[in-house]
């Protein structure tokens, strides 16, 4: 009986590990607010073409009295990647190649973090467009394929308006 229980625990553990390893993207959407702004964001984890993990934050911010912004923040593993600032991020959308401005703060000198202004290109994308991010690195580039469910979350975030 004890061996059967150990076998069951091992099977459950292997199943949980397989679930986390086999999932190429994990995303969640949340709203945050304070007295000065409202932030609506999608947080996901994607892997690039070299199997490096990236935290991907797509967010829309509504600062009081200012125009809203739509940004994409990419965070790689420290020491594993160095983003080539201020080169633009490229977005492959079906057969088009769009350039997205690097707006990473000069006061934020962290080599594995990049921030990009998505707002100017939103009207050039459709909800069913296949997206690939091409991130400039000091040692070449990283390509991240954006799963359709993550891209749909980004659309939800980009079109969101805070309650008045």
Please, where are the H alpha helices in the chain? Answer: 2-22, 148-159
pLDDT attached to residue 100: 98
81-98 average pLDDT score:
94
User: Per residue in 34-54, pLDDT tens?
Assistant: 778 889 999 999 999 999 999
Q: How far, CA to CA in Å, does 53 sit from each of 46, 77, 108, 125?
A: 6, 7, 21, 25
Domain count across the chain = 1
Q: Which domain holds residue 36?
A: 25-159
pLDDT band at 25 (very low <50, low <70, confident <90, very high): very low
User: Is the Cβ–Cβ distance between 51 and 36 less than 8 Å?
Assistant: no
User: Higher model confidence: residue 145 or residue 15?
Assistant: 145
Nearest Cα residue to 72 out of 23, 128, 119, 142: 119
Q: Is 19 exposed, middle or buried (0-12, 13-18, 19+ CB in 10 A)?
A: exposed
**What stretches of the chain adopt beta strand conformation (E)?**
26-33, 37-47, 53-63, 69-75, 89-93, 96-100, 113-117, 131-137, 140-146
Q: Is the dihedral of CA 86, 137, 99, 118 positive or negative?
A: negative
pLDDT attached to residue 14: 40
51 domain-assigned: yes
Say what the pTM is. 0.79
CA distance 158 to 154: 6
pLDDT band at 2 (very low <50, low <70, confident <90, very high): low
């Amino acid at each position: 009986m004890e061996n059967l229980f150990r076998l069951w625990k091992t099977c459950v553990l292997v199943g949980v590990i397989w679930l986390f390893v086999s999932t190429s993207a994990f995303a969640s959407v949340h709203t945050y607010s304070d007295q000065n702004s409202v932030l609506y964001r999608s947080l996901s984890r994607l892997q690039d073409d070299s199997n490096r993990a990236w935290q991907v934050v797509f967010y829309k911010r509504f600062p009081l009295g200012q125009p809203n912004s739509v940004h994409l923040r990419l965070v790689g593993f420290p020491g594993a990647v160095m983003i080539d600032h201020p080169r633009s991020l490229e977005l492959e959308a079906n057969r088009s190649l769009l350039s997205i401005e690097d707006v990473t703060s000069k006061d934020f000198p962290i080599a594995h973090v990049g921030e990009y202004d998505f707002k100017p290109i939103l009207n050039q994308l459709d909800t069913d467009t296949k997206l690939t991010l091409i991130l400039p690195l000091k040692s070449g580039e990283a390509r991240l394929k954006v799963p359709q469910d993550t891209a749909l979350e980004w659309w939800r975030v980009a079109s969101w308006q805070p309650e008045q």
